[in-house]
Structure 1
Amino acid sequence: MLLLAGPPGAGKSTVAELLASSAEGPAVHLHTDSFHVWIRSGFVLPYLPEAARQNETVTEVMIAAALAYERGGYDVVLDGILGPWMLDGFRLACADVSYAVLRPSLDVALARAAAREGRQLTAVEPITGLYTAFADLGPLERHVVDSTEQTVEQTAAAVATGYRGGRFTL
């Protein structure tokens, strides 16, 4: 299982889709935004403090879905704003989990996010706040891939190489 994390505009979904689509065996791409979008009543924006219980529930559902696919023989690429605060649940549930963080410069993340369409987050203030959550990962800095000047293909190749080499193993 590969957790592909980072702030909005890092390229997570695009890279995760490419990784899962080009996998040698059966693979699934789980887009964590979908797990939030499914909430129809009582939804709280996940970056707000009052979303804590909602986020715990959504994380439990993400873990259960990822594990079900894994038990079915699929490699799982889960992408989203999966901060270090979420890793314990995945570590406890899955014996073999890797964590890669895409982190372009803030300017690039903001520009990419502003170019989005649909319901995706484009507001500067929350994106900047979420970006700071990935700015200093301490011992997890070795899990960071700087996607600032890379193409999607280059970023996917860097993640695949790091994953195969064990760089991202938790």
Structure 2
Amino acid sequence: MHLHTDSFYVWIRTGFVAPYLPEAARQNDVVLDGVVGPWALQPFRDAAKRDGLDLFHVVLRPSLDVTLARGTARETAKLTEVTALPGMHAAFARLGELERHVMDTTEQTVEETADAVRRRACSAVFAL
């Protein structure tokens, strides 16, 4: 997949700061939200190393029951097929050296999870 970063700037609804200005540093941080397992990390690691960037990886891993409940309750029809969810959950069950990147979000609301990620995502625990 090719993500054209110039496209990101049109998504900023309020408070846009020209990306080349020093005060745009926070705005220029990129969070990739999706299924990014160990099998997909190497290109990100390579790019971060090449460009001298910090890279952090957080795995949100609620229990299987909660994963199924949340996955099938989505408002969109996409990615709500219950048969695929146990396999995806299992793919993140044993992460070896990446186990320290896991946050158990079973008991958290969406807002609590987002707050926890904001507070901890750029910590040494989640650094790659």
Q: Shorter-chain TM-score: which interval? A: 0.7 to 0.9
Aligned to 2:107: 149
Aligned to 2:32: 78
* Equivalent residue runs for 1:22-41 within 5 Å: none
Following TM superposition, the consecutive aligned residue runs of length 4 or more in structure 1 with deviations greater than 3 angstroms are 65-69
Q: Are 1:98 and 1:169, in contact at CA under 8 Å, matched by a contact in 2? A: yes
Aligned to 1:136: 94
Q: Are 1:103 and 1:145, in contact at CA under 8 Å, matched by a contact in 2? A: yes
Which TM-score applies when normalising by structure 1? Answer: 0.57
User: Which whole-Å deviations, capped at 9, do the CAs of 1:66-101 have from their partners, x for residues lacking one?
Assistant: 5986xx451111100111111110011123110000
Q: CA RMSD in A?
A: 2.0
- Of the three residues 97, 107, 115, the one matched with 2:65 is 107
Deviation at 1:125, TM superposition (A): 1.7
Deviation at 1:106, TM superposition (A): 0.6
SS of 2:32's equivalent in the other structure is strand
SS of 1:90's equivalent in the other structure is helix
Aligned to 1:88: 42
Instruction: Give the number of aligned pairs.
Output: 107
Structure 2: runs of 5+ lacking an equivalent: 9-18, 20-24
Aligned to 1:15: none
Amino acid at match of 1:146: D
Change (3 A) 1:98 1:68: farther
SS of 1:78's equivalent in the other structure is coil
SS of 2:31's equivalent in the other structure is strand
Q: Are 2:61 and 2:104, in contact at CA under 8 Å, matched by a contact in 1? A: yes
Aligned to 2:74: 116
Comparing both structures, which one devotes a greater share of its residues to strand?
A: 1
Q: Are 1:103 and 1:146, in contact at CA under 8 Å, matched by a contact in 2? A: yes
Q: Are 1:66 and 1:76, in contact at CA under 8 Å, matched by a contact in 2? A: no
Distance 1:118 1:68 in 2: 24
Change (3 A) 1:102 1:67: farther
Change (3 A) 1:76 1:102: same
Distance 1:68 1:90 in 2: 19
